[in-house]
Structure 1
Amino acid sequence: MNPSSGRQALAVYLNPAEIVVAEAPATVTTVLGSCVAVTLFSPRTRIGSICHAVLPSGLGPEPGKFADQAIRYMIDYFHEQQIDTDELVAKVFGGADMFPQMRGSRNQGTIGAQNIRASLAALEQAGINPAVVEVGGQQGRKLVFFSDTGDVYIKRVRKDQMRMAEEMLNTRGNNKKFDALSRNLQGKGSAGRGE
C-alpha cells in the first residue's frame, strides 16, 4: 500500500539501464552510486516514471542506459498520453563520486558529475525545471519512488554498503511479478516499462 495515496501499489526493483513508466500505482526501489535517477510525474493523471541511467549520453537499444536518451524516452511517453512538459514535476537524484576519474577524462569530471550534467541539460532542453536536485557527494542513495504521488524517499548508502543493498533488493523477485503484470496489461493502459 502506498502510504501517501492509500492505494495498493505494485513493488518494483529498478535495475541499472531500466525505465519504469507506471499508470497504475507502483512503488519503485533502486540503488544509485554514480548513476542518476530522474523521476517525472504528472499530478493531473497521476502517472509517474523513473529511469536509472548509467552513462551520460548516447543512443542505444536500451533507452534507459543513457541519461539524455532515457529522459527523452520518458518525455515522449508523456507526450503520447497528451501530457505536456509544463505539467511534469521532475526530480533528479544520484551522480555520486563513487569512482576515481578515468585517465584522460579530467576535463569532463567523474562519471557521476557527467551523469548529473547530462540529466540537467536534457531537462533544460525540454523546458523542464527540476523541483528537486539531490545529487553528487561521496555516498550512494537508495530511492523509493511512489509513481502515483511523485514522492521519493531517500536513504544515504556508504560505498561499502552498496553491493549488499543492491543484492538485498534484487533478490526479492519483484521484477518477475512486474514483468508478468506488464505483459498482461500491455495494450490495456495500466502499466508499462521501457522497451
Structure 2
Amino acid sequence: MSAPLFLRPGEYFFGRCEGSVVTLLGSCVAIILWHPQQRLVGVSHYLLPRRLQHHPDPADPAYEPDGDEQDTRYGSAVFQRLLGDIRASGVPASHYRKGIFGGGRLVQDASSPIARIGQNNIQFARRCFEQLGWAIDQQDVDGAAYRRLQVDGLSGRVSCECRPSLGLPPGKPHDQSLYRR
C-alpha cells in the first residue's frame, strides 16, 4: 500500500489510489464517491458553496458562480468536476456509493456569519445530491467538531474521526503555537 494522499482545502482527487486519501475538515465539506468494482475513488474538500461575488457575508447562501468551474475550493466546481469524471469513467453515477462529511461549527458565536458557513456547505451538498437524484449512502456532518476523514482507495472504507473544536470566538487572536512545529 502506498503513502496516504493528503488533500488540503480546495483540493480534489478522482481516480484509482493504492493507499488512502486523507483530509481534515472544519466547516468545509468533503464529497466522497466510491465504485467498488472499478476501485475508483473521488474525494473533494470544498470551502464554500460558490465563489463570493456581490455578497459581503461569506455565509450568504445567495452566491453567484463566476464561470470558473474548475476551482474546487467551491462546491459548484466540485460537482461539475465529479460529473465530468463520472462521465469519463464510463460508469453510471448510480453505481457509485456516495457520502457527505464535514460542515462543522468551529466558532462559539452562533450569530456570527462565519458560524453558518458549515451549515451552508452541508445544505448546498444535500441540495446538489437531491437535484442529481443521488442517495446519501454515508454522512457525518454538522456539530461542534472538526473531522479527520480517511478513504481507503482499495476497499472504499471511510473512517471519520471527530474531534471537538477549540470553539474560538471570532475576532480574538489564535495561539500561533498551535500551528508551529
Find the aligned partners of 1:61 and 1:130 in 2 and give their Cα distance.
Answer: 23
Task: Provide the secondary structure at the position in 2 that maps to 1:114.
Answer: helix
Residue 125 of structure 2 corresponds to: 119
Tell whether 2:86 aligns with 1:78.
Answer: yes
> What RMSD, in angstroms, separates the aligned Cα atoms of the two structures?
2.9
Residue by residue over 1:120-147, the C-alpha shift from the partner in whole angstroms, topping out at 9 and shown as x without a partner, is 1112222211101210000111111112
**Runs (5+) with no aligned partner, structure 2:** 52-64, 168-174
Is residue 140–residue 160 contact of structure 2 (8 Å, CA) maintained in 1? no
Q: Distance in 2 between matches of 1:102 and 1:66?
A: 23
- Identity fraction in percent: 21
Secondary structure of the residue aligned to 1:49 is strand
Structure 1 stretch 143-152 or stretch 112-121: which is displaced more? Answer: 143-152
Q: Does 1:12 align with 2:20?
A: no
Q: CA deviation at 1:14?
A: 0.5
SS state of the match for residue 129, structure 2? helix
> Relative to structure 1, is the Cα distance of residues 32 and 156 closer, same or farther in structure 2, using a 3 angstrom cutoff?
same
- 1:67 maps to a residue whose letter is G
Q: Normalized against structure 1, the TM-score is what?
A: 0.71
Distance 1:10 1:131, change over 3 A: same
Alpha-carbon distance in 1 for matches of 2:138, 2:155: 15
Greater helix proportion: 1
Q: Is the 8 A contact 1:93 1:135 kept in 2?
A: yes
Q: Normalization by structure 2: what TM-score?
A: 0.76
State the distance in 1 between where 2:142 and 2:93 align. 25
Q: For the Cα contact (< 8 Å) 2:15–2:41, is it kept in 1?
A: yes
The one of 39, 44, 62 aligned to 1:46: 39
- 1:37 corresponds to 2:17: no
One-letter amino acid matched to 1:13: F
Q: Residue 45 of structure 2 aligns to which amino acid in structure 1?
A: H
Which structure would you say has the larger RCO, counting Cα contacts within 8 Å and 6 or more residues apart?
A: 1
Give the Cα separation in 2 of the matches to 1:61 and 1:85.
Answer: 20
1:90 paired with 2:89, answer: no
CA contact (8 A) 2:69 2:80 kept: no
Is 1:67 aligned with 2:75?
A: yes
Secondary structure at the residue paired with 1:134?
A: strand
Structure 1 residue 101: Cα displacement: 5.3
> Any unmatched runs of 5+ in structure 1?
1-7, 172-195
Deviation at 1:75, TM superposition (A): 2.3
Question: One-letter code of the match for 2:74?
Answer: F
Q: 1:150 and 1:167, CA in 2 relative to 1: closer, same or farther beyond 3 A?
A: farther
Amino acid of the structure 2 residue aligned with 1:156: C
Match of 2:18 in 1: 25
